Structure 1
Amino acid sequence: MQLIVLAHDIHFLRHLRNDVLRDTHPNDVKCLKLKAVTNRYSSFDDIDMDNECESAYFKSHRLLEEYRAGNATSSMEVARSIRPMLEGYLHRRFPGLINGGLLFGQVIELINNAVTPCPLIFAQNITHELNEINRYAGQYHHDTNPAADQVEVVDSELLSFVDRAVNVVHAGAV
């Protein structure tokens, strides 16, 4: 038996693939995408649906973990992924309590100003670390530094701040 499913919605396809994989060996499922080739023709190519569907938070987290593991990616892209990863962590740790339009420094300020019974008080123990990480990572973002593209990334310094950011997420403390 063979089943071929074509769709424009990759999230639907990922859910379908996951449902099929519950009862099927992974080698029995092949996920492909159409890609443009020469002379305006199309061909098939492999697709990693999990990477294609990942949120900005998970993409940032993956980039930082890959960098920590020594898998070289763009140092600038890694530096620019620190804040979105921490913002995503805080949004998931405190759903509905942090407005998505706030800059990272404003999020830290919101946490610092929280009072009981607001659950944000449970993150006040990490705001000093978040501020230090933000001071470093902010230099690579245009919202806080118009010359962000000209800032040199020093890999040893970047690795230190990547480690610190990931440790905040994993430990929930400093």
Structure 2
Amino acid sequence: MRKQIDILNIELKKLQIKRTNIRAKKNKTEDEVKKKEYELLMIQNSLEKKATREKIKDIEVGLVELSKKYQDQYLFKINEYLKYFNPSLKLLRLNQYNTKAVYTLEILGYPITNTKIHSLKYSLSEADKSALSISFFFSKLELTPDLNNYTIIIDDPITSFDYSRKSSTINMIYRLSSKVKQIIVLTHDHRFAFDLSKKFSNSSIPCENIKINTNSETSYFQLHNIERENLSGIFKDLTVLNEYILNGAQTDLEKREVIRCIRPVIEGIFRIKYFGIIKQNEWLGDIIEKIRQSTTNTDFYRYKSILNNIIEINDYSKEFHHSNPLYFETPINDYELKSYVNNTLNLIREI
């Protein structure tokens, strides 16, 4: 209905421009016959404008009735969603102005009616403002007819939200996904993106993770392995090494990332196994020294048989460490890298 009103308002503007042009032509001409013709055209124009205004008025009356019919449902839905985010918040109807309803907010049972004294800018936290906004959004969608024809774009829906509110948002998006044609969720929060993706993992609804990457020339979309992105520490580095063995690496930068993971993985396995013995400021070189100086019946003596292998892997990875001034100039042999990664994976099994 609002689209119809917008179209008719555009038509009114066109009629007004047309009337102005007719009047200008009438004022310029000295021909009485022409003046009579222009006067008739202006009368016709007035009738068309009147008919258009009446159409707008009829549609607005229908819109008011429709608005009154759905506003109670809308208010109910908003409050239902608000319960998930903050049960102490509630909306109450205050006044009706044509097609618009004015609401007041109730906080802990106390209506905020005087906005000059109780400004929502200061009465609500950023999280509660976001909760109100997203409750309006989901409520409006739920009452939208033919929702299955819509593509919905949601931009950073969890700003200022704590874990429970993030979880509620994920559940709402998941429920909505079965009712619409497509949902696109934009977010900077990797953990939220991972949890949302995980929600869809056992669903029949397909879900793709895409991230924006950049190079020296432009930005571009790329499929995103979000599960790997949200791994941390040693598990992330182990995944990088394992995926290199399975799929290889396409660029020199990717290969350098593989090499970067070698030493942290070995150090991490030793730290886990000898928690409290290996200090936080001790690295692979220190661990090698502990093995070298170990004696029978000490913790690290059992690794003497593989010490040379650990030293060789350490020396190889040091060549490509960022502390090496020739870090980016050192060429990478793919066959050699694959051999060292395999040695690393075999070594951690022995540790």
Same fold by TM-score greater than 0.5? yes
Selected match of 2:244 from 55, 67, 70: 67
Q: Is 1:155 aligned to residue 334 of structure 2?
A: yes
1:49-73 per-position Cα deviation (integer Å, ceiling 9, x unaligned): 6434322211211111111112425
What secondary structure sits across from 2:203 in the alignment?
A: helix
**Partner residue of 2:286?**
106
Counterparts of residues 10-49 of structure 1 (less than 5 Å): 10=191, 26-27=202-203
User: In the alignment, is the contact (CA less than 8 A) between 1:94 and 1:120 conserved in 2?
Assistant: no
Equivalent residue letter for 1:154: N
The whole-number CA distance in structure 2 between the counterparts of 1:166 and 1:120 is 19
Q: Which structure has the highest strand share of the two?
A: 2
The whole-number CA distance in structure 2 between the counterparts of 1:54 and 1:98 is 23
Selected match of 1:53 from 230, 241, 249: 230
With the length of structure 2 as denominator, give the TM-score of the two structures.
Answer: 0.37
> Could you tell me how far 1:121 is from its partner in structure 2?
2.6
The whole-number CA distance in structure 2 between the counterparts of 1:134 and 1:47 is 31
The whole-number CA distance in structure 2 between the counterparts of 1:57 and 1:169 is 12
The whole-number CA distance in structure 1 between the counterparts of 2:206 and 2:278 is 40
The whole-number CA distance in structure 1 between the counterparts of 2:293 and 2:278 is 13
Question: Between the two proteins, what is the percent identity of the paired residues?
Answer: 26
Unaligned runs of 5+ in 2: 1-166, 172-188, 213-222
**Partner residue of 1:41?**
none
User: In the alignment, is the contact (CA less than 8 A) between 1:80 and 1:137 conserved in 2?
Assistant: yes
The whole-number CA distance in structure 2 between the counterparts of 1:47 and 1:72 is 16
User: In the alignment, is the contact (CA less than 8 A) between 2:295 and 2:301 conserved in 1?
Assistant: yes
The whole-number CA distance in structure 2 between the counterparts of 1:155 and 1:104 is 24
Q: Is 1:4 aligned to residue 169 of structure 2?
A: yes
> Could you tell me how far 1:124 is from its partner in structure 2?
2.8
> Could you tell me how far 1:136 is from its partner in structure 2?
0.9
User: In the alignment, is the contact (CA less than 8 A) between 2:263 and 2:314 conserved in 1?
Assistant: yes
The whole-number CA distance in structure 1 between the counterparts of 2:312 and 2:329 is 21
Unaligned runs of 5+ in 1: 37-45
Paired residues in the alignment total 156
The whole-number CA distance in structure 2 between the counterparts of 1:75 and 1:48 is 17
The whole-number CA distance in structure 1 between the counterparts of 2:248 and 2:229 is 19
Larger Rg: 2
Selected match of 2:314 from 134, 138, 141: 134
With the length of structure 1 as denominator, give the TM-score of the two structures.
Answer: 0.68
The whole-number CA distance in structure 1 between the counterparts of 2:207 and 2:276 is 35
User: In the alignment, is the contact (CA less than 8 A) between 2:229 and 2:236 conserved in 1?
Assistant: no
> Could you tell me how far 1:155 is from its partner in structure 2?
0.4
**Partner residue of 1:96?**
276
Distance change in 2, residues 1:166/1:139 (3 Å): same
